[in-house]
Structure formats: C-alpha cells, structure tokens
Amino acid sequence: MDYNSHTDAVVRVAVTLVNALTPGEQRGRPFPVPRDLGAAATGALRALRPSYREVTQAEGAQLAEVARRLRTVFTAVADGDLDRAAEQVNVLLAETDARPRLERHDGEPWHLHFHGLGGTMAGDWAAGCATGLAVVLGSEFSDRLGVCTAPHCDRVYVDVSRNGTRRFCSTACQNRVKTAAFRARTRG
Ligand SMILES: [Zn+2]
C-alpha cells in the first residue's frame, strides 16, 4: 500500500478487532460473541504487537462496541456505498474527538498517534482506527476494505495486494471456495 506504515498498522488493528470481537460467521461456522471479551481483545492486539498489555474485561467490552461500529464501515464499502462508509467514519471521528499527536517511543522514529477523549484504551483505539480508515477512504485505495465473499463467512479484510483483487478473509476461505467450485465442475 502507498500510505504510511502507521496508517497501515491501525487499519490492521481495525480488521483484527472486528474479526475477533464482532459476532457473525467465520470460515463456514457460526462465530458467537466471545465469552471472555478481555481475553479475545488481548489475543487480537497481541497478534499484531506481542508485547501489548492484557486487556481487562471492561475494556474488552468497550472494544467490542468499537469493533461493532468499525464493522459498519467495512460493510458499507463492500456494498459499494462509499458515501455511507464516509459518513460513518466522519461520525466516529467526531464522536471520538480524534486528535493527532506526534510521539516517539520504543526506539521508533516520530510518528503520528491519534488519541480520543477520556484517555481510555477503547477511546484511543476508536480514534486511531477511525483515522486510519479515514485515510484509506480518502485515498485511491478506498475500495481496499472488504467483507469475505465466501459462503458463511463475514470476517473483514484490508486488501494490500498490488493489484487489489482480494475477495476473501483468509486463504482458508479462498480454498473452501476453490474446492467447492472444483467439486461442482467435476460433478457436472
Ligand atoms: Zn472468510
């Protein structure tokens, strides 16, 4: 992707939070709300940053609400409704009062963080993820957000491939669809 690596990183966080914390279907199976939202959120964030601190149950519940809101943006883009996606991101930016701030930590160079009101973990991630999605929607890559098109799967993805032809959340779903198509052909 062409945008900067921090934007890339927060968009990946948005994808990961939506996929870990919102109910629906995953790779052909029902995906219920995780019983332990704290553990689910911790696992999601540590998948991207292993040193991330443990998320409490209360924070996990707040992050699940953030994830529910973020999902609507992916759904709108997948429906081809960029207007609705942009509106939803604007509402999130306003609600979270996303404020840019240059920070330098962990040996990284100066980079932009986006904090929300109240200084809570969920508020900060909501502001950061909303800003990341805003950068994507405002760029030539606005159609790179998506919802898996495999049957019985509604996990989301960001397409960072060169040609932008991704349609599935995972290679598992891609293979499921390929196998089903192959079976249909050989049956015919
Ligand atoms: Zn899928």
Q: With 60 as the cut, is the pLDDT of residue 87 above it?
A: yes
Render pLDDT for 163-180 as a digit per residue (tens, 0 to 9): 899 999 999 999 999 998
108 compared with 63, residue with greater pLDDT: 63
Q: What distance in Å separates the CA atoms of residue 147 and residue 132, rounded to the nearest whole number?
A: 17
CA-nearest of 99, 134, 129, 96 to 18 is 129
Distance between Cα 99 and ligand 1 center (Å): 33
Distance between Cα 20 and ligand 1 center (Å): 13
SS3 164: coil
CA-nearest of 1, 2, 7, 27 to 130 is 7
Distance between Cα 92 and ligand 1 center (Å): 26
Render pLDDT for 23-52 as a digit per residue (tens, 0 to 9): 999 999 999 999 999 999 999 999 988 999
